[in-house]
Amino acid sequence: MTDVTRILDAIEQGDARAADQLLPILYQELRQLAAHLLARERPGQTLQATALVHEAYLRLVGAEPQTWQNRAHFFGAAAEAMRRILVESARRRGSLKRGGGRERQDLEEPVLAIDSPGFDVVALDDALTRFAETAPQPAELVKLRYFAGLTGKQAAEVLGISSATAARYWAYARSWLYVALKEDGGTGPA
């Protein structure tokens, strides 16, 4: 049993000190995951990788006891927590009381007349939610691959499916989401 698995078991048993031991061990990996997710965000994102890690960690080891099967399961949960935080942040940025569709402009940088690269994380989340209603396991695979940065093999392991099934789910999910995002007028993931 690895240190991480031992600590996760202790957290599950209600040991409050175990949560304090977990963050230092996994911090760098969680920060890399957060940086990976933030790199896919549109320019002007004010959320920093450190803040994203800390917010996700608080949600993971918060008031309610959690159950994680292993390290991969924990990282899947961390990716889901980070995805939700990014979606909430995008929705807050887009709300009318906070300026609606206005984008932050740096005064030192020249303003270009073209849209910046990136995608609409809210549109992706909405499409993924609709997809999960009809295909929950392929939707979970997308979350693990796209938001957690897991490989197909790692995601298959977390879901308890074969690599071949994961590859079929991935192809199906990408096609479904591509069509859904184009129909909604959203810009798909790069």
The domain ranges of the chain are 3-71, 119-184
Closest to 94 (Cα-Cα) out of 23, 44, 28: 44
Which structure tokens are listed for 78? 């961390």
CA distance 187 to 178: 9
Q: How many CB atoms lie within 10 A of CB 9?
A: 14
Q: Architecture of 119-184 per CATH?
A: Orthogonal Bundle (1.10)
pTM of the model: 0.49
Helix 121-134 and helix 71-94: axis angle, to 10°? 130
DSSP 178: H
Per-residue pLDDT of the chain (190 residues; tens, 9 = 90+): 567 777 777 777 777 677 677 767 777 777 777 777 777 776 666 677 778 787 887 887 765 656 667 777 777 888 888 888 888 887 776 665 555 555 655 544 333 222 334 557 788 888 999 999 999 999 999 888 887 778 888 889 888 999 999 999 999 998 998 888 888 765 444 4
